[in-house]
């Protein structure tokens, strides 16, 4: 089966690259081994939160230049601060045109979002129905509200309003906690292990349950400037929190819950919808099992490039998938884009060259769990055109993007989504040129 | 080897993404959902069979949980295997009628006009609804006066003129209800220079029997079909089937659920449309006449599981004038015989509602799907005709 481009991986990077290519008129297939790690994400997109020297970033342009000095192996530094900035601005425009209603921008710098435990975290873009707190130049919150009501669903275990309230109180906010339920939720609750954000959202999104929701929100809003709710509504109706805000005449905002995350899953669905709308061919639950390279494989000088001629996948068996170009966006260890065992670490599809993997296995991890873990920086090596390498040789018709790349720590540096978006657009640009 | 050990159920991280994509749990809170019914429940059932939950019968076997799972757990298979081990025999006469499609088909085609007439009399429908448990509003497929096999052996065009031959696994629906799809299959393959044979003996693939818990009878069918397929493959290159569900059953359910080995022939048992694509990749040509028609493609659940909708989409685009919309991949709710059972029928329509809406919104003249029961459900629920891609391709041949 022939396509202009085959994208491997259906997460933020894979869909971003694929949609950008489809919009330029290329035919595109996307293979995914299962639903993506977006389902576990807050739904906010981080661009750059901290530098290797642990200093916090709020001015993103300055942050990129500091990063280029401190961390030349970071994908942003490989692309260069100017290029990264240009692509990130392109991503903001692209996301908006794809119907992702996000607040925040590079030019405004990082804003703050609330974690499921009420911690304020600097971030780049947040869905417009989530808690968005502007920050000043030093990263201090500029709270729009003093009195905050926390309204949760009875017996929902993935969000604890008391913990969040304690955090908000430390921020000088006055808080109150409320909960509600409705008959349909009581039925769902009989199965406690499935009483999770998306499943609850599917109940609360139904028109028949709207009166319960409206009543609970209005009650909680009575003595408050804003109502914060766990993100378990608005899955099929992304405008629901905004509609409730109108009814209660107070802002109703969502806080991401522990995984599975409704906002992340919704983001995944919106991207998938755009991909299909633009004529993309989705190959769900398929994986590459074999591939064929052409080029002088024994070239000892290592100067000539190799090209991928065809892929064979689990579902398509003897019928090869042939594309002019390919994007590898398979993610990190969690998404099985990188695999590790007792013998070492490898990139799952092609066995590409990796960066930052120490010789000795004992150097892979630190004893301190929340420390800057070396394994977080493992990943594929790329050049400035996002081309990866195989035994030192460039793969001419393969580009790599997102968390499969090495050289950065998405958790400590708070840059996972930004790297995914920027490298995906860089990969698309490299293919189009 | 215990088939449960092949389902990878220990890899479950309890993330619940499967439940997000389960069409049944979305509308039926009494169903515990794929994670609880599958890998979670399995840990308990391994300790004590008393943990088996009867609500597992609400699983429609659509396999969408398996497609969603990031950890590669075959959740649907875990549930089917649990039903096989613990549910006990199904004593419902209604389920026996619905599940034994080949026996019922053989009986009904002998007196097809009478059956077609009688099953539509309000009094019969009242009886079927109140006593048997098949809802009065559900439209039955019409039975054909002659079976496809009888037509093939009496009237088929000469197939021996073709140097290359394939064997057609026609399935019950073609044989008893829709012989024209079988005829279209022959026309399409003949146009590619391929002659068509049938299996010496073909029984129902077994999927309705699996759904209703008749695992023993399903295995008998599987063993018989496996023997006949292996035999046919000594004479022809491939066995092909137009139906996504029969294909999925022969390829996946035989080894995974029924413990009937198929590794000697699995790669040579193919969906018909995929084989057509393969022949065209090798340089065979088909010429289509122009048809100004708006078509919406529906990815049936088992088509999603096979992962082959790209072939149908690519081939449909070859018809000049055909405008193609790809519908969002969602279950239509019928799930074979599932929606014919009164206790499921309300949920069946609720599951399908978003798909029906997207069909109406598309403004299409025709829906295309490889699944025969999706066809019944879509036609009944939207009034828009639904055909197998084989039919559209064959009828537009120059």
Helix, coil or strand: residue A29:
strand
Phi-psi group of B363: left, alpha or beta (phi > 0 → left; psi -120 to 50 → alpha; rest → beta): left
Q: A145 and A78, same structural domain?
A: no
Tokens encoding A348: 């799952």
Say what the pLDDT of residue B135 is.
Answer: 87
* A59 vs A20, more confident: A20
Q: A410 and A270, same structural domain?
A: yes
Give B-chain residues touching A283 at CB under 8 angstroms: 307, 310
User: Is residue A216 a part of any domain in this protein?
Assistant: yes
C-alpha A305/C-alpha A389 separation (Å) is 9
**Residues in Cβ contact with A173 at an 8 Å cutoff, skipping those fewer than 6 apart:** A143, A145, A146, A147, A148
Size of interface A-B (CB pairs under 8 A): 100
Q: Provide the CATH number for the domain around residue A221.
A: 3.40.50.2300
Inter-chain touch A29–B267, beta carbons under 8 Å = no
- Chain A contact present for B362, CB below 8 A: no
A368-412: per-residue pLDDT in tens? 888 889 999 999 999 999 999 999 999 999 999 999 999 999 999
Q: A304 and A213, same structural domain?
A: no
Give the Cα-Cα-Cα angle B239, B244, B247 (nearest 5 degrees).
35
Kindly state the helix (H) or strand (E) to which residue A208 belongs, with its residue range.
none
Helix, coil or strand: residue A150:
strand
Which fold does the domain B293-395 belong to in CATH? Rossmann fold (3.40.50)
What integer best gives the mean pLDDT of chain B? 93
Least confident range from A290-304, B80-94, B119-133, B212-226: namely A290-304
Least confident range from A333-342, B84-93, B366-375: namely B84-93
Residue B298 phi/psi, 5° resolution? -110, 125
User: Is residue A6 a part of any domain in this protein?
Assistant: yes
Say what the pLDDT of residue B120 is.
Answer: 81
Say what the pLDDT of residue B118 is.
Answer: 83
The parent domain of residue A404 ranges over 2-100+266-432
CB-CB neighbours of B19 under 10 Å: 29
Helix, coil or strand: residue B99:
helix
**Cis bond leading into A260, ω under 30°?**
yes
C-alpha dihedral over A259, A263, A264, A267, to 10 degrees?
A: 160
B274-289: per-residue pLDDT in tens? 999 999 999 999 999 9
Q: A156 and A23, same structural domain?
A: no
Say what the pLDDT of residue B89 is.
Answer: 83
Nearest residue on chain B to A189, alpha-carbon basis:
B29
Cα→Cα distances A356→A373, A377, A387, A391, B204, Å:
11, 6, 17, 15, 56
Give B-chain residues touching A316 at CB under 8 angstroms: 307-308
Q: A276 and A370, same structural domain?
A: yes
Domain boundary among A235, A255, A275: A255
Give A259→chain B minimum CA distance, Å.
7
List of long-range contacts for A363-371, beta carbons under 8 Å, 24+ apart: A364/A340
Nearest residue on chain B to A199, alpha-carbon basis:
B20
Inter-chain touch B67–A260, beta carbons under 8 Å = no
User: Is residue A91 a part of any domain in this protein?
Assistant: yes
pLDDT-based confidence at residue B111 (cuts at 50, 70, 90): confident
Nearest residue on chain B to A314, alpha-carbon basis:
B307
C-alpha A371/C-alpha A407 separation (Å) is 16
Domain with CATH 3.40.50 in chain B: 293-395
Q: How far apart are the first and last CA of chain A?
A: 24
Nearest residue on chain A to B22, alpha-carbon basis:
A199
Question: Taking 70 as the threshold, does the pLDDT of residue A298 lie above it?
Answer: no
For the segment B349-377, the average pLDDT, to the nearest whole number, is: 96
pLDDT-based confidence at residue A364 (cuts at 50, 70, 90): very high
Give B-chain residues touching A284 at CB under 8 angstroms: 67, 304, 307, 329
Question: Taking 70 as the threshold, does the pLDDT of residue A301 lie above it?
Answer: no
- Chain B contact present for A194, CB below 8 A: yes
Q: A280 and A243, same structural domain?
A: no
Say what the pLDDT of residue B1 is.
Answer: 76
With a pLDDT cut of 90, the percent of chain A lying above it is 89
Domain with CATH 1.10.1060.10 in chain B: 3-86
Give A234→chain B minimum CA distance, Å.
14
Question: Is-contact B313 B324, C-beta < 8 A?
Answer: yes
Nearest residue on chain A to B315, alpha-carbon basis:
A1
User: Is residue A260 a part of any domain in this protein?
Assistant: no
Question: Is-contact B107 B101, C-beta < 8 A?
Answer: no
Tokens encoding B31: 């169903």
Inter-chain touch B70–A199, beta carbons under 8 Å = no
A123-153: per-residue pLDDT in tens? 999 999 999 999 998 889 999 999 999 999 9
User: Is residue A124 a part of any domain in this protein?
Assistant: no
Question: Taking 80 as the threshold, does the pLDDT of residue B83 lie above it?
Answer: yes
What integer best gives the mean pLDDT of chain A? 94
Say what the pLDDT of residue A302 is.
Answer: 60
Give A-chain residues touching B304 at CB under 8 angstroms: 284-285
Q: A305 and A214, same structural domain?
A: no
Of how many residues is chain B composed?
Answer: 398
Domain tally for chain A? 2
Say what the pLDDT of residue A190 is.
Answer: 86
Q: A309 and A278, same structural domain?
A: yes
User: Is residue A108 a part of any domain in this protein?
Assistant: no
Inter-chain touch B67–A283, beta carbons under 8 Å = no
Domain boundary among A255, A285, A314: A255
Q: A90 and A21, same structural domain?
A: yes
Question: Taking 70 as the threshold, does the pLDDT of residue B218 lie above it?
Answer: yes
- Chain B contact present for A362, CB below 8 A: no
- Chain A contact present for B20, CB below 8 A: yes
Nearest to A170 by CA among A132, A151, A152, A143: A143
Residue B174 phi/psi, 5° resolution? -65, -45
pLDDT-based confidence at residue B376 (cuts at 50, 70, 90): very high
Tokens encoding A20: 């950008």
C-alpha A390/C-alpha A385 separation (Å) is 15
* DSSP letter (8 states) at residue A387: -
Say what the pLDDT of residue B127 is.
Answer: 80
With a pLDDT cut of 70, the percent of chain B lying above it is 100
**Residues in Cβ contact with B360 at an 8 Å cutoff, skipping those fewer than 6 apart:** B382, B384
- Chain B contact present for A316, CB below 8 A: yes
Q: A17 and A144, same structural domain?
A: no
For the segment B137-153, the average pLDDT, to the nearest whole number, is: 89
CATH top-level class for B3-86?
mainly alpha
**Residues in Cβ contact with B41 at an 8 Å cutoff, skipping those fewer than 6 apart:** B32, B51, B52, B53, B56, B82
User: Is residue A106 a part of any domain in this protein?
Assistant: no
Inter-chain touch A259–B15, beta carbons under 8 Å = yes
A181-225: per-residue pLDDT in tens? 999 999 888 888 889 999 999 999 999 999 999 999 999 999 999
Question: Is-contact B1 A156, C-beta < 8 A?
Answer: no
Q: A355 and A241, same structural domain?
A: no
Q: A416 and A314, same structural domain?
A: yes
Say what the pLDDT of residue A303 is.
Answer: 66
């Amino acid at each position: 089966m022939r396509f202009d481009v085959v994208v491997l991986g259906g997460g933020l990077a894979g869909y971003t690259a694929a949609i950008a290519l489809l919009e330029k008129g290329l035919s595109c297939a996307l293979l995914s081994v299962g639903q993506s790690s977006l389902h576990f994400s807050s739904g906010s997109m981080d661009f750059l939160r901290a530098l290797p020297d642990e200093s916090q970033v709020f001015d993103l342009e300055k942050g990129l230049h500091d990063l280029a000095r401190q961390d030349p192996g970071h994908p942003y530094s490989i692309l260069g601060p100017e290029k990264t900035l240009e692509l990130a601005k392109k991503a903001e425009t692209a996301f908006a045109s794809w119907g992702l209603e996000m607040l925040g921008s590079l030019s405004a710098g990082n804003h703050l979002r609330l974690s499921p435990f009420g911690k304020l975290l600097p971030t780049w873009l947040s869905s417009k129905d989530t808690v968005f707190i502007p920050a000043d130049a030093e990263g201090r919150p500029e709270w729009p509200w003093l009195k905050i009501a926390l309204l949760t669903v009875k017996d929902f275990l993935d969000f604890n309003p008391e913990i969040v309230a304690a955090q908000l109180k430390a921020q000088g906010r006055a808080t109150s906690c409320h909960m509600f339920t409705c008959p349909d939720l009581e039925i769902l609750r009989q199965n406690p292990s499935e009483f999770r954000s998306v499943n609850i959202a599917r109940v609360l999104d139904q028109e028949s349950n709207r009166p319960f929701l409206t009543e609970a929100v209005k009650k909680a809003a009575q003595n408050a400037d804003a109502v914060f709710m766990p993100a378990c509504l608005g899955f099929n109706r992304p405008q629901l929190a905004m509609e409730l805000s109108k009814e209660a005449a107070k802002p109703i905002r969502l806080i991401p819950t522990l995984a599975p995350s409704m906002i992340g899953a919704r983001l995944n669905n919106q991207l998938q919808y755009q991909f299909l709308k633009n004529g993309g061919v989705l190959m769900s639950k398929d994986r590459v099992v074999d591939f064929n390279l052409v080029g002088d494989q024994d070239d000892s000088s290592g100067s000539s490039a190799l090209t991928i001629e065809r892929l064979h996948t689990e579902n398509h068996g003897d019928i090869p998938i042939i594309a002019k170009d390919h994007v590898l966006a398979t993610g990190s260890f969690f998404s099985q884009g990188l695999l590790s065992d007792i013998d070492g670490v490898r990139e799952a599809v092609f066995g590409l060259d990796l960066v930052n993997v120490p010789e000795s296995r004992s150097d892979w991890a630190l004893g301190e769990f929340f420390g800057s873990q070396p394994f977080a920086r493992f990943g594929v090596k790329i050049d400035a055109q996002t081309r990866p390498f195989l035994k030192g040789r460039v793969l001419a018709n393969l580009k790599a993007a997102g968390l499969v790349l090495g050289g950065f720590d998405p958790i400590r540096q708070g840059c996972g989504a930004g790297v995914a978006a920027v490298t995906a657009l860089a990969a698309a640009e490299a293919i189009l040129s | 080897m215990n088939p449960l050990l092949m389902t990878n159920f220990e890899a479950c991280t309890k993330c619940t993404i499967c439940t997000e994509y389960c069409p049944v749990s979305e509308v039926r809170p009494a169903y515990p959902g794929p994670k609880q019914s599958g890998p979670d429940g399995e840990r308990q059932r391994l300790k004590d069979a008393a943990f088996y939950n009867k609500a597992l019968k609400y699983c429609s076997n659509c396999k969408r949980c398996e497609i969603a799972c990031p950890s590669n757990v075959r959740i649907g298979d875990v549930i089917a295997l649990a039903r096989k081990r613990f549910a006990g025999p199904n004593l419902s006469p209604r389920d026996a009628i619905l599940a034994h499609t080949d026996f019922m088909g053989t009986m009904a085609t002998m007196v097809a006009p009478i059956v077609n007439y009688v099953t539509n009399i309000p009094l019969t429908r009242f009886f079927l609804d109140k006593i048997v448990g098949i809802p009065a509003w559900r439209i039955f497929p019409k039975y054909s006066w002659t079976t496809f096999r009888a037509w093939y052996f009496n009237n088929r065009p000469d197939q021996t003129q073709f140097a290359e031959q394939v064997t057609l696994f026609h399935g019950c629906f073609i044989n008893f209800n829709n012989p024209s799809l079988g005829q279209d299959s022959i026309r399409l393959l003949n146009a590619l220079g391929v002659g068509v044979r049938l299996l010496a003996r073909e029984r129902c693939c077994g999927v309705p029997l699996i759904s209703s818990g008749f695992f023993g009878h399903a295995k008998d069918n599987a063993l018989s079909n496996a023997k006949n397929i292996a035999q046919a493959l000594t004479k022809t290159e491939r066995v092909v089937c137009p139906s996504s569900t029969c294909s999925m059953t022969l390829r996946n359910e035989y080894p995974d659920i029924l413990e009937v080995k198929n590794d000697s022939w699995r790669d040579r048992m193919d969906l018909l449309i995929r084989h057509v694509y393969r022949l065209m990749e090798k340089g065979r040509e088909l010429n289509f006449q122009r048809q100004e028609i708006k078509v919406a493609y529906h990815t049936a659940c088992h088509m999603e599981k096979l992962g082959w909708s790209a072939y149908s989409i690519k081939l449909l685009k070859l018809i000049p004038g055909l405008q193609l919309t790809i519908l969002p991949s969602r279950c239509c709710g019928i799930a074979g015989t599932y929606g014919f059972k009164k206790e499921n029928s309300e949920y069946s329509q609720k599951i399908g509602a978003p798909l029906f809406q997207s069909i109406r919104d598309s403004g299409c003249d025709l829906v295309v799907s490889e699944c025969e029961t999706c066809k019944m459900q879509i036609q009944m629920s939207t009034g828009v005709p639904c055909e197998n891609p084989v039919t559209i391709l064959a009828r537009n041949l120059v």
